[in-house]
Chain A
Amino acid sequence: MKDQVLPFEKPVIELKSKIAELKKFTSESDIDLTSEIKKLEDRLEKLESEVYGNMQPWDRVQMARHSNRPTTLDYINEIFEDFVELHGDRLYGDDEAIVAGVAKYNGTPVTVIGHQRGKDTKENIRRNFGMPHPEGYRKALRLMKQANKFNRPIICFIDTKGAYPGKAAEERGQSEAIARNLKEMAGLTVPIICIVIGEGGSGGALALGVGDHIYMLENSTYSVISPEGAAALLWKDSNLAQRAAESMKITSYDLNELGIIDGIIPEIRGGAHRNVAEQANNIYETLQKSLQKLTSYSKDELLEQRWEKYKKIGAYTTL
């Protein structure tokens, strides 16, 4: 698969291909360009840290949407052992926009749930582009309750543009399904850890997002509406998405500053897709610390702290 190049990283990619060209030339001819290559490699190192060290909100939006960005299943395969996927909401059907199942994390049984995008058209159609119907959220809730019964921690991966805006979704109660998850998750007495790995789009993301610890990958986003949608609503012009991405405060750094998340999980330079195994390892380590802390609390403490956590989110004053 050809690597998708994002506009802001073009200079890096161009320099990389130039280096590759020179290397090829050197190996095929008698002219030695080793010192030139070395120079360019030094420049690349500098350029990369410049470009990826100064990513703007819009760059991160594009990174979060990168076609090769690792998905929930990619991370499940790297992080957990013995994953057994479980299907269906027992009411209507099985929504493949959400995957869920039991697995082991470092030997400990856990329940893992996440939005699942596709990486190509065929898989995206099967996964409905990671945009769930009510049955997806109801499957998630069914398995969270199972986790609660058997006292297993729950780990949620958030990666969706939003709940699917369709006719059938409304008929089957999209609002109710999301609302119920918010309420029921609040009352589960096992640790819940949520990690935004790509796009965290609105209520459809939130429905897997009520937890004790919330983390975001460095280049993920979490927002009430997509930048395009915000631009259309606020300024009647979806071309102003870049500006909306900045003013809506949707990056991991913004949410950390607003006190909504518990931490940022650093990304591989150039984006998580550059090295899935290494990225998964960063997540693994965050999970380890988080689980260690959360499993030390009693059920009552978990519920109380969850309330305290959400109670304080908001900005208001009095006249």
Chain B
Amino acid sequence: MLKDFFSKKRKYATIPREEAKQDIPEGLMKKCPQCKQIFYRKELNNQLQVCPNCDHHHQMSAWERIHMLFEENSFVEWDRDMISENPLEFPDYVEKLEKDRQKSGLNEAVVTGKGIIDQYETAFAVMDARYRMGSMGSVVGEKIARAIENAREENLPFIIFTASGGARMQEGVLSLMQMTKTSVAIERFSRAGGLMISVMTHPTTGGVSASFASLGDYNFAEPGALIGFAGRRIIEQTIREKLPDDFQTAEFLMKHGHLDKVIHRHDMKRTLSILLEIHQPGGES
């Protein structure tokens, strides 16, 4: 079955030139942070960044994920040029944003748009932890809220891949309010009968975990992803107790009933495709 997936995948896994430039690897080899084995980057790319040895799911860039899921040339990006301001006039914030823009090739920590998964058109938002740790400022909140609104207006499902350390400190309470903005958008979308699927990837914490990431009709996660509200260190300091190793992992959340399913990356597209099909109006005819 896995072989099947890869032969199928290869057809549309070629990355258009524009994005290819952004994803040039720094080196030829990469060490798996979990099992410490060293792999050719190419090999990891072919495995969708899943370690062939220990199954560790390496972090993925937003565009890698989009190419993994959507038919080639099927996607349209929304609000690509939206960028952050510096509303609190924080020293160095603008420079930090610019630096991450250069590093990631992204204008902000989320890419939104619509595209086709198998034959099903869907709106999406994919976060990228390389940009300011995926933190949510005004732009992230606004882009996600707009994507949800677009999905509502165009009658599309909405799939979100989260990867975020939470709120963006440099935008203060404005970033906190993005939790509300996105949640109000989801409520409108939900009230209109829209389907939302949330896939939490490593890491999904703080204000992102406590808003849209947890608000899907389906809440999924990738194996081993760190998911939680409060930081591990803060909890250990508060309760003066050492936490178990699996604390706040996807598997931990699953055990405590907070996830519908933990989905291996190699099964992600197929699972999403099945759900999209199940939610087609009138079913498959």
Interface residues of A in 218-277 (CB under 8 A from B): 222-225, 230, 233-234, 247-250, 254-255, 258, 260
Contact A174 B230 (CB under 8 A): yes
Interfacial chain A residues near B176, Cβ < 8 Å? 202-203, 206, 222-224
Say whether, besides A163-B229, A166-B238, A319 and B174 are in contact (CB < 8 Å): no
Name A178's closest neighbour in chain B (CB-CB).
Answer: B210
Chain A 151-171 interface 0/1 with B at a Cβ cutoff of 8 Å (1 = within): 000000000000111110111
Which of B52-60, B63-71, B81-89, B274-282 sits within the interface? B81-89
Interfacial chain A residues near B88, Cβ < 8 Å? 247-249
The CA-CA distance from A306 to B227 in the complex, in Å, is 29
Contact B139 A260 (CB under 8 A): no
CB of A183 within 8 A of chain B?
A: yes
Contact A316 B235 (CB under 8 A): no
CB distance from B46 to the nearest CB of A (A): 34
The CA-CA distance from A225 to B82 in the complex, in Å, is 26
Say whether, besides A175-B229, A248-B172, A249-B173, A314 and B235 are in contact (CB < 8 Å): no
Contact A260 B213 (CB under 8 A): no
Q: Tell me how many residue pairs across A and B have CB atoms closer than 8 Å.
A: 187
CB of A11 within 8 A of chain B?
A: no
Interfacial chain A residues near B186, Cβ < 8 Å? 183, 186
Interfacial chain B residues near A209, Cβ < 8 Å? 180
The CA-CA distance from A275 to B206 in the complex, in Å, is 37
Interfacial chain B residues near A234, Cβ < 8 Å? 169-170
Contact B243 A167 (CB under 8 A): yes
The CA-CA distance from A223 to B170 in the complex, in Å, is 12
Interface residues of A in 81-130 (CB under 8 A from B): none
Contact A317 B83 (CB under 8 A): yes
Say whether, besides A313-B174, A315-B171, A173 and B256 are in contact (CB < 8 Å): yes
Say whether, besides A175-B213, A178-B229, A224 and B172 are in contact (CB < 8 Å): yes
Contact A203 B210 (CB under 8 A): yes
CB of A310 within 8 A of chain B?
A: yes
Name A163's closest neighbour in chain B (CB-CB).
Answer: B229
CB distance from A19 to the nearest CB of B (A): 40
Contact A314 B187 (CB under 8 A): no
Interfacial chain A residues near B81, Cβ < 8 Å? 318-319
Contact B82 A179 (CB under 8 A): no
Chain B 74-95 interface 0/1 with A at a Cβ cutoff of 8 Å (1 = within): 0000000111110110100000
Chain A 290-319 interface 0/1 with B at a Cβ cutoff of 8 Å (1 = within): 000000000000010011001101111111
User: Chain A contact residues (Cβ within 8 angstroms of B): what range?
Assistant: 35 or more
Interfacial chain B residues near A250, Cβ < 8 Å? 172-173
Contact B238 A165 (CB under 8 A): yes
Interface residues of B in 227-252 (CB under 8 A from A): 227-231, 234-235, 238-239, 241, 243, 247-248
CB of A210 within 8 A of chain B?
A: yes
Interface residues in B, total, Cβ within 8 A: 61
Interfacial chain B residues near A170, Cβ < 8 Å? 228-230, 235, 247-248
Name B101's closest neighbour in chain A (CB-CB).
Answer: A319
CB distance from B135 to the nearest CB of A (A): 10
User: Which among A172, A203, A258 is the interface contact of B256 at CB below 8 angstroms?
Assistant: A172
The CA-CA distance from A210 to B169 in the complex, in Å, is 21
The CA-CA distance from A249 to B206 in the complex, in Å, is 20
Say whether, besides A202-B207, A313-B177, A183 and B83 are in contact (CB < 8 Å): no
CB of B188 within 8 A of chain A?
A: yes
CB distance from B256 to the nearest CB of A (A): 5
CB of A176 within 8 A of chain B?
A: yes
Say whether, besides A165-B230, A180-B215, A183-B187, A313 and B239 are in contact (CB < 8 Å): no
Interfacial chain A residues near B206, Cβ < 8 Å? 203
The CA-CA distance from A280 to B80 in the complex, in Å, is 48
The CA-CA distance from A170 to B253 in the complex, in Å, is 9
Contact B172 A223 (CB under 8 A): yes
Contact B180 A310 (CB under 8 A): yes
CB of B142 within 8 A of chain A?
A: yes
Name B86's closest neighbour in chain A (CB-CB).
Answer: A315
The CA-CA distance from A248 to B138 in the complex, in Å, is 15
Contact A182 B180 (CB under 8 A): yes
Contact A307 B83 (CB under 8 A): no
CB of B8 within 8 A of chain A?
A: no
Interfacial chain B residues near A230, Cβ < 8 Å? 169
User: Which among A167, A179, A249 is the interface contact of B210 at CB below 8 angstroms?
Assistant: A179
Interfacial chain A residues near B247, Cβ < 8 Å? 167, 170
The CA-CA distance from A247 to B170 in the complex, in Å, is 9
- Across the A-B interface, give the 5 residue pairs with the lowest CB-CB distance, nearest first: A165-B230, A314-B138, A182-B183, A315-B87, A179-B214
7 chain-A/chain-B pairs, Cβ below 8 angstroms: A166-B239, A180-B215, A311-B145, A315-B138, A315-B171, A316-B85, A316-B142
Binding site for B on A (CB under 8 A): 163-167, 169-176, 178-180, 182-184, 186-187, 202-203, 206-207, 209-210, 222-225, 230, 233-234, 247-250, 254-255, 258, 260, 303, 306-307, 310-311, 313-319
Binding site for A on B (CB under 8 A): 81-85, 87-88, 90, 107, 138-139, 141-142, 145, 167, 169-181, 183-188, 190-191, 206-207, 209-215, 227-231, 234-235, 238-239, 241, 243, 247-248, 256-258
- 4 extra A-B contacts, CB within 8 A, seeds A174-B210, A314-B177: A184-B187, A203-B176, A206-B176, A307-B185
